[in-house]
A and B are shown apart, each in its own frame.
Chain A
Amino acid sequence: MARPVTRGPRPSLTIPGSVSGVDRRSILRGALGTGALLAASGALAACSSDSSSPSTGSSSGAGKPGNVKFGINEARGSGPAYDRLAAIAAAYTQKTGAQVSLNAVDHNTFQESITTYLQGSPDDVFTWFAGYRMAQFAEAGQITDLSDIWPIDGMSDAFKKAATAADGKQYFVPVSYYPWAVFYRKSVFEKNGWTEPKSQDDFMALLKDMQGKKITPFAFAAKDAWAPMGTFDILNMRLNGYDFHMELTKGKKKWDSPEVKRVFETWKTLLPYHQENSLGRTWQEAATSMAKGECGMYLLGSFVVDGVPKDAADDLDFFTFPALDATIGADALDAPIDGFCVAEGGADQEAGKAFAKWLGSAEAADAGNNASSVPFIAANSGASTAKYGALQKKSVEVVQNAKSIAQFLDRDTNADLANTVITVSLQNFIKNPDDIDGITASIQQQAASILG
């Protein structure tokens, strides 16, 4: 029903935004947090006003490290995610002497009010997501061009690509990510003599064998409407490739094209291997089915560990979805990237840019991870991996080997289309897998109307 309150290791900064339902507790927490924060940030601002921004030697090309306001999407005291961000801010102050006033807002509240936030008087630097969600603000002139702080040491080209908007400039500094992959319990695989499938044939054989042993191959949940997007994405990227995914999400390819229909056709043949009644199941419930061994595998983001008990979490392993088309291969995956943007409406652009540049550094990532019980997977390859668990180490490897990183359907495409049309349509498909023509036609009609 909602983003879990952190329990057990949590490799990611956040779970995808649309994951979260309106969690009453978190709203309350957010409200309290914001209230407390207003007072706190007022106090901070008061402190900072008389300490005229000292600029110590930072080799940054852009901007001077002045005092900044930092908007983050984790409420004060909301767990490791907040601890990391607060520690990163503190480390910056320690390094440069610049004050960072933290504006900590609850995750859902932050995301849902982002449009008004950016148009009001936003903080200089704020937490945000890569992909279209970043690009649409770039297009609307709400966020600052950061191309002069790129390239960032330790950031691969894939990250640069994800930070680039339609005009070819970078507007984003990545900090962490979490890959989507097929998770399973090592003990269950060992007991049944299964191994990670390397090819499509292996994969199909595995599915059949699981079914023969009365274990549902795939745990599956679609009550949260974003969840089936993960399946759509991976099938689309395996059948049509990363470039098609990007063109489709940008509206350059049609939703009723033969390529998209082929994705649905393939999905339809795989549906019998998925858990039934998925439309009433939350991802936490599906994760539990996998943890209990009722289901063999679960295709989800690495936040799946939050949905299973501790002993099962230690037993988890994953593999990337195998290739379905030899010419396309299996070198693309969804790995949503979280990071930071500089708000165009922020008070101090120079200070904001300087802070943003530092946020992308390995040093910032280490400061965050050292202060928190649960590390994130740093985007910067120079960051220390000492605190990572086995799953996170493997995630790093998988993402570094990937040629292209997609941001997830609802992060790569127009938010209106994703949230009001595609969610509904994917659920309709699961209900009615025979109506592929009708469903794709309906998406295309609405996409044409929304994208204009």
Chain B
Amino acid sequence: MATGTRRRQSRRVETKRGWKDRLVIGTMIGVPTLLVFWLVWLPAAASVLLSFTRWNGFKFSAIEWVGTKNYVDITTIYPPFWPAIRHNLIWLAFLFVLPTILGMVLAVVLDRNMWGSRFYQTAFYLPVVLSLALVGFIWQLFYSTDQGLINEVFGSKVDWYGDPSVNLWAVLVATAWRHTGYIMLIYLAGLKGIDASLREAAAVDGASEVKTFFHVIFPVMRPINMIVLVIVVIESLRAFDLVWIVNKGRNGLELISALVSQNVIGEATRYGFGSALAVIMMVISSVFIAIYLRIVFREERR
């Protein structure tokens, strides 16, 4: 039970605030709220509504209510959908395993102030500066079947970007090339921030390097691990640029984001169908966001 006195007090505080303050507070809360509503919630709600319709983008009167037809079509007669879901999951798992571990290892090695460590840091981080579109182009030079470096050097004849059984992995390697540097930098920053006395204490206790890392350093880096986790999830959900550059997300490189674009960008104007795909993507992201928020809040409560 909130006591009467406290309520009265707070009211008194409020009345003490002048109309100017209230105006400032009102604007500071109101404007962002309006923006969020206008730019986030309204389009999201519109997408959900549109996903139950069929619309070619001309006149609003042409919007036709079709119920759940789009969703039924997507899951039953739209061949790229299930591969897209699978590829998004593979993407997530892959980013978790390879670039994260590799990035961590690189960070630990480079943290030891070895000779030329600055140079390596720059070299590994360089790809992060490039846009994924450019990354796609660079790797095209390696992967091209007839004129690419890899096939040229090894005398192989692998169709890296065209063969649907290898192209996803080829693209994932290109993504990892960029992503590893990113993860490395984050861990490197984390390692630099660790109190040297912790290491000294561990060394005095006679713990080996490996043991020190896993039992002392790694647990201390918990916040960094959380950031990396979030980045990986976000990166894998919004994966898009690279596959779009390679082949517009077709033929083994289907991703949900690419399917959305195929249906609504350019000359294909299946706004209802594309919205339904976007809604599915939104639902999947919400699951991850919910899990993440749960973890974060539980952390804070501790």
Binding site for B on A (CB under 8 A): 1, 17-18, 21-22, 24, 111-112, 114-116, 119, 133, 140, 142, 222-223, 225, 276-281, 285, 288-289, 415-416, 418-420, 423-425, 427-428, 431, 442, 445-446, 449-450, 452
Contact = CB atoms under 8 A, between A and B. Distances in A.
Contacts of B161: 223, 280
B270 A285 contact: no
Given A115-B58, A415-B267, A279 B157 contact: no
Given A223-B162, A277-B159, A428 B167 contact: no
B149 interface: no
Contacts of A415: 267-269
Interface of B: 54, 56-59, 69, 73, 77-80, 133, 137, 140, 143-147, 157, 159-164, 167, 244-245, 247-248, 250-251, 262-263, 265-270
B162 A225 contact: no
Contacts of A420: 262-263, 268, 270
Summarize A's interface: helix, strand, loop or mixed: helix
B270 A450 contact: yes
A285 B140 contact: no
Given A280-B143, A281-B146, 9 more contacts: A115-B269, A222-B162, A225-B248, A281-B145, A415-B267, A419-B266, A424-B79, A424-B251, A449-B69
Contacts of A17: 267
Q: Which of B160, B161, B167 has the most CB of A within 10 A?
A: B161
B160 A449 contact: no
Given A277-B163, A281-B162, A289 B146 contact: yes
Contacts of B160: 280
Contacts of A133: 267
B58 A416 contact: no
Contact of A442 (B56, B77, B133, B159): B77
B250 A280 contact: no
B159 A280 contact: yes
A222 B73 CA distance: 26
A424 B250 contact: yes
Contacts of A22: 244-245
A285 B265 contact: no
B79 A442 contact: yes
Nearest to B269: A115
A216 to B, nearest CB: 11
B171 to A, nearest CB: 12
Contacts of A289: 146
Contacts of A449: 69, 73, 77
Contact of A112 (B159, B163, B251, B267): B267
B145 A277 contact: yes
A194 to B, nearest CB: 23
Contacts of B244: 22
A133 B144 CA distance: 33
Nearest to A17: B267
A112 B162 contact: no
Given A420-B262, A446-B77, A449-B73, A279 B251 contact: yes
B58 A119 contact: yes
Contacts of B69: 449
